[in-house]
Amino acid sequence: MRVELVVLIKKTPENHEQLEFLGGSDDWSPREGTDFLENRVPAHSERAKVLLEQLQAGGFEFYMREERHFELAEIRLATILKTGPEAQVLGSHLPHEVQFDWSEACETCMRTPEQVGPLVMQHARLADEEAIFGPRHELIVSEKIALRMIKDGITGCLLREVEDQEESSVHDSSYFQVMVTQQLPRAFSPPTRFISTDDRCEACGQGGLFLDSPLYYDVAENEFQDVNHTFESFGQGAAISPELVMSSRFYNLLTACGAHLEEPEPVLFV
């Protein structure tokens, strides 16, 4: 495992000028889709120490997090992985086309209501991906993958067809939502580390939770199904969701069918 420290600063003329002055502007690159510049250095290294000292001395406002990268051999040896589709259907709001059971939501923050109806999306927005995350991190797969899942007896989920919002759609492809039925127990912490922000709701404890380490569990590997959701929900705002944890069998099925997945991270056992 290789750990990288990712440091972010706002892309402003002042910050740019200050970086030029410090002579380190070449090390910073724009972070795609955001107005931040990022700099990546090996975590806990001399370079990381120097960088943080420079930023503090320069009075920069910065954000940082650690990112872990695993060797192919480490991925191949892992039986359970945390990963999901690389692409997500954009949309910062809840899809209004979906019915939710609001009686299940927290009365204070109205977060995480249960989905009761089918997911309705514009199939054209799924961009011909074999697997993609919906706006609320719903796992959506192509018909090809859904058929393979049934054939291989993938456990821990049900499949439900995603309805096309455009009735006269020219897209004749079908998509299926993988309704995850298997919820894991709480991650074992420590060693699992979390970061909590002030977006957390006092009433239900949901919101503002982020994962800061690999996931560790103190249950047997055979208690995992092929598809699992973490007990904890992560992220902030309304669209908080559990992480997707899958067997290597399901991971191999997805990649063999041409799904583009996030860099997988082995789940560890204590």
Is 106 one of the binding residues for Zn ion (CB under 5 A)?
Answer: yes
Least distance between Zn ion and beta carbon 108 (Å): 4
**Closer residue to Zn ion (CB): 163 or 199:** 199
Place of tokens 């291989």: 152
Is 105 one of the binding residues for Zn ion (CB under 5 A)?
Answer: no
Least distance between Zn ion and beta carbon 240 (Å): 10
Give yes or no for a contact between 9 and 15, defined as CB atoms under 8 angstroms apart: yes
Place of tokens 């199904």: 225
Examine residue 191 and say whether the peptide bond preceding it is cis (omega within 30 degrees of 0).
yes
Residues 16-35 that bind Zn ion (CB under 5 A): none
- Alpha-helix residue ranges (DSSP H) falling in the chain: 13-22, 46-57, 72-77, 143-152, 248-256
Of 85-93, 103-111, 144-152, 186-194: span binding Zn ion (CB under 5 A): 103-111
Residues 173-202 that bind Zn ion (CB under 5 A): 201
**Closer residue to Zn ion (CB): 177 or 241:** 241
Size, binding site for Zn ion by CB under 5 A = 6
Residue type, 101: D
- Alpha-helix residue ranges (DSSP H) falling in 109-169: 143-152
Least distance between Zn ion and beta carbon 105 (Å): 8
Judged by CB under 5 A, the residue of 64, 204, 257, 268 near Zn ion is 204
Least distance between Zn ion and beta carbon 206 (Å): 5
DSSP letter assigned to residue 240: -
**Closer residue to Zn ion (CB): 62 or 210:** 210
Is 108 one of the binding residues for Zn ion (CB under 5 A)?
Answer: yes
Least distance between Zn ion and beta carbon 109 (Å): 3
**Closer residue to Zn ion (CB): 154 or 240:** 240
Element (H, E) at 29: strand 29-30
Is 238 one of the binding residues for Zn ion (CB under 5 A)?
Answer: no
Q: CA nearest 78: which of 250, 231, 262, 242?
A: 250
**Closer residue to Zn ion (CB): 201 or 268:** 201
Cα–Cα distance between 54 and 177 in angstroms, integer? 47
Residue type, 241: S
Judged by CB under 5 A, the residue of 1, 124, 158, 203 near Zn ion is 203
Is 109 one of the binding residues for Zn ion (CB under 5 A)?
Answer: yes
Q: What is the largest CA-CA distance in the chain?
A: 61
**Closer residue to Zn ion (CB): 46 or 202:** 202
* Secondary-structure percent of the chain, ordered helix, strand, coil, rounded to 5: 20, 30, 45
Given the rule CB under 5 A, which residues bind Zn ion?
106, 108-109, 201, 203-204
